[in-house]
Chains A and B, each alone.
Chain A
Amino acid sequence: MTIASMQGVLKRYGSYVALDYIDLDIYEGEIVGLLGPNGAGKTTLIQTLTGMLPADKGKISLFGQSQNPFSNANKEKLGLVTQEVAIFEELTAKECLHFFAGVYGLRGEEKKRRVAEALEFVGLTDQADKIPHKFSGGMKRRLNIACALTHRPKFLIMDEPTVGIDPQSRNHILESVKKLRDQGTTLLYTTHYMEEVQEVASRVIIIDQGQVIKEGTVQQLIQTIQHEEKVKFDVSDPDIIPLDKLEKITGVRQVIASGSQITVISAAGTGNLDRILSVVKEYSSVLGIQADKPNLEDVFLTLTGKQLRDKGE
């Protein structure tokens, strides 16, 4: 079943095209990783999908409804974890969740139970009665996620939920995402951290400049660029290894010597590792071997010609 769909959606800000005739389908039970650099159009896509921004052209449907996708009935099935932490600083963690649970129509014992569940889910049960004013950034982010979970949404949109937090909280959030996946929640997870998408997404959509560049599983995307293999050797005597001899081996494209490391780049599927290794061993002891596999970062670089993250991010 299609949970969310965008067909030929165009969104402009003046002359700037934020979404350039986007086509997108999200199916029940999958985690779709929406990957793109800053300014790619991820947040605009979410805001258009949730009805916050009207599309200039195209069709949007949620839960199979295209006539009025933003009805209250559909909103009840939708959860949104915003990019900015949006919690009430004057209310305790538990009160924040009670507020949103009430907004989603939960009452009485059920509301209490759902709030307790959401707190436990994000690991904040022991902080339930504390004001989030003194929470760490990671704890605030977790509370921000819990606010979107009390009503058990069928479709959860997480807009860069791990920006600016410590690795421990990031791991906690990623574990929570996996738990949600196991519970059958459909997720749209936007980020510009490719490691996160590789870890949690069942399907990846890469967008840049408002366009879907490529989509597929992580493996499918990586296979599209898997035309090179890179092997690094740590050796004891790098200076005496004849690089030209390595370069003459079939399939080898480039040999780079740097410090005690020799990097050999070959065409994929050549099966020349044994020959390379025997040449290296002939002249020096091999202290270590490292084979780098291409990742989504490489996919993105190949497809768009730019890095996913700015330096320093």
Chain B
Amino acid sequence: MRVLSTTKFTMLRLVRNYIGLLLLLIVPIVMLTIFSLILSGMTNEEGNPYFNETALTMVLTFQLFGGSSVMHYLNYDLFTLNRERMFVAPFNRTMYALSIMIFGSIFSVLLGIVLMIYSQYVLGMVWNNWAWTIYLITLMSVLSSIVCVIFTCVVKKFKLAGRLSEIYGVGFVMLAGLFFPMPQNAVFDFLGSYGNPLTLSIGAVRAGGNGNWAEAWLQANIVLAAIVTLFLVMIVVGRKRLK
């Protein structure tokens, strides 16, 4: 109950985190707008607009960085400046950390939905299956938050944890071959397909859009399995760090 009373303030902090909003909302909106202008009228071999593919990739890519606010709040509230006050407060700090993670993820999903709304109603793109796409955005957001919590709990130097979270985000974008083509070998093929949450979620949305639900669920469930596994890891390292 006491942790519940803090959730409103966690959301307020997220909403008023202007740097976070700039990086996770304004920057993608600007990029989406620029790409819509550049790719206007261009279609792929199947006759679908190129922009659809770009918008999907961008909306999911930015979810890779959605956990950054979570790790900053965890660090500030429980491991550095506010640590002493939180320690002497009569509430469950593990549950509080979990609430930050959950609300950080929800906020990241909401930003993803705002990007979907913007790209459909302002830029004219049509999202085939909103519910399925939002589900994949949610998976990506939760995964990012969990990974960031793990980094914050495992690495004592917060700056290093921050760098690792950036490597997680940029690394998977790179491995997905979005920056430049990756070398052709088994390892990179795996990390660019079934070993990469970004390509898995993009693939799942695409497969769902094509009506190939077996493939769509397979790819989404791989991400879900990663979430479940890392969630257990997070619980172990989180409880250890919060002792």
CB proximity to B under 8 Å, residues A62-90: 72-73, 75-76, 78-80, 82, 84-86, 88, 90
List, in ascending order, chain B residues with CB within 8 A of A98's CB: 9
Interface presence of B212 (CB below 8 A): no
Bound form: Cα–Cα A82–B16 in Å: 25
Of the candidates A73, A75, A79, A86, which one forms a contact with B82 in the assembled complex, judged by CB atoms under 8 Å apart? A86
A105/B9 contact (C-beta < 8 A), A50-B87, A72-B90, A90-B16 known: no
CB proximity to B under 8 Å, residues A39-69: 47, 50-52
Residue of B nearest to A71 (CB): B90
Interface presence of B122 (CB below 8 A): no
Interface presence of B159 (CB below 8 A): no
Interface presence of B6 (CB below 8 A): yes
Bound form: Cα–Cα A291–B68 in Å: 62
Do B89 and A103 have beta carbons less than 8 Å apart?
yes
Query: B19: shortest Cβ distance to chain A, in Å?
Result: 11
Bound form: Cα–Cα A85–B81 in Å: 7
New contact pairs (13) apart from A51-B88, A86-B84, A104-B90, CB-CB < 8 Å: A50-B84, A75-B90, A85-B81, A86-B82, A90-B12, A90-B13, A91-B9, A91-B16, A98-B9, A100-B85, A102-B2, A102-B5, A103-B6
Interface presence of B91 (CB below 8 A): yes
Query: A42: shortest Cβ distance to chain B, in Å?
Result: 13
Do A84 and B81 have beta carbons less than 8 Å apart?
yes
Of the candidates B2, B83, B84, B85, which one forms a contact with A105 in the assembled complex, judged by CB atoms under 8 Å apart? B2
Do A80 and B85 have beta carbons less than 8 Å apart?
yes
Query: A80: shortest Cβ distance to chain B, in Å?
Result: 5
A88/B13 contact (C-beta < 8 A), A102-B2, A102-B5, A103-B2 known: yes
- B contact residues vs A (CB 8 Å cutoff): 1-2, 5-6, 9, 12-13, 16-17, 81-85, 87-91
Do B2 and A75 have beta carbons less than 8 Å apart?
no
Residue of B nearest to A111 (CB): B5
List, in ascending order, chain B residues with CB within 8 A of A72's CB: 90-91
Query: A64: shortest Cβ distance to chain B, in Å?
Result: 18
Do B13 and A80 have beta carbons less than 8 Å apart?
no
Do A82 and B85 have beta carbons less than 8 Å apart?
yes
By Cβ-Cβ distance, the 3 closest A-B pairs, closest first, are A102-B5, A72-B90, A75-B90
Residue of B nearest to A82 (CB): B84
Bound form: Cα–Cα A76–B13 in Å: 25
Pairs A–B under 8 Å by Cβ, sample size 17:
A50-B84, A52-B88, A76-B90, A80-B85, A86-B82, A86-B84, A86-B85, A88-B9, A90-B12, A99-B6, A100-B85, A100-B89, A102-B5, A102-B6, A103-B89, A105-B90, A107-B5
Residue of B nearest to A105 (CB): B2
Do A90 and B87 have beta carbons less than 8 Å apart?
no
Do A51 and B87 have beta carbons less than 8 Å apart?
yes
Do B88 and A50 have beta carbons less than 8 Å apart?
yes
Query: A68: shortest Cβ distance to chain B, in Å?
Result: 13
Do B90 and A80 have beta carbons less than 8 Å apart?
no
Q: Mark A111-148, 1 if CB is under 8 A from B, else 0.
A: 00000000000000000000100000000000000011
Interface presence of A95 (CB below 8 A): yes
Bound form: Cα–Cα A103–B5 in Å: 7
Bound form: Cα–Cα A104–B88 in Å: 10
Do B91 and A103 have beta carbons less than 8 Å apart?
yes
Most buried by A among B12, B87, B88: B88
Bound form: Cα–Cα A50–B90 in Å: 12
List, in ascending order, chain A residues with CB within 8 A of B12's CB: 90-91, 95
Residue of B nearest to A106 (CB): B5
Of the candidates A47, A73, A104, which one forms a contact with B84 in the assembled complex, judged by CB atoms under 8 Å apart? A47
Most buried by B among A88, A95, A105: A88
List, in ascending order, chain B residues with CB within 8 A of A75's CB: 88-90
Bound form: Cα–Cα A47–B83 in Å: 11
List, in ascending order, chain B residues with CB within 8 A of A131's CB: 16
Bound form: Cα–Cα A88–B5 in Å: 15
Bound form: Cα–Cα A78–B88 in Å: 7
Bound form: Cα–Cα A50–B83 in Å: 12
Query: A124: shortest Cβ distance to chain B, in Å?
Result: 18
Residue of A nearest to B20 (CB): A90
List, in ascending order, chain B residues with CB within 8 A of A147's CB: 85
Do A52 and B87 have beta carbons less than 8 Å apart?
yes
Query: B88: shortest Cβ distance to chain A, in Å?
Result: 5
Residue of B nearest to A46 (CB): B84
Bound form: Cα–Cα A145–B131 in Å: 47
Most buried by A among B2, B17, B83, B89: B89
Do A52 and B89 have beta carbons less than 8 Å apart?
no
Residue of B nearest to A43 (CB): B84
CB proximity to B under 8 Å, residues A147-169: 147-148
List, in ascending order, chain A residues with CB within 8 A of B13's CB: 88, 90-91
List, in ascending order, chain A residues with CB within 8 A of B6's CB: 99, 102-103
Query: A235: shortest Cβ distance to chain B, in Å?
Result: 54
Bound form: Cα–Cα A88–B136 in Å: 32
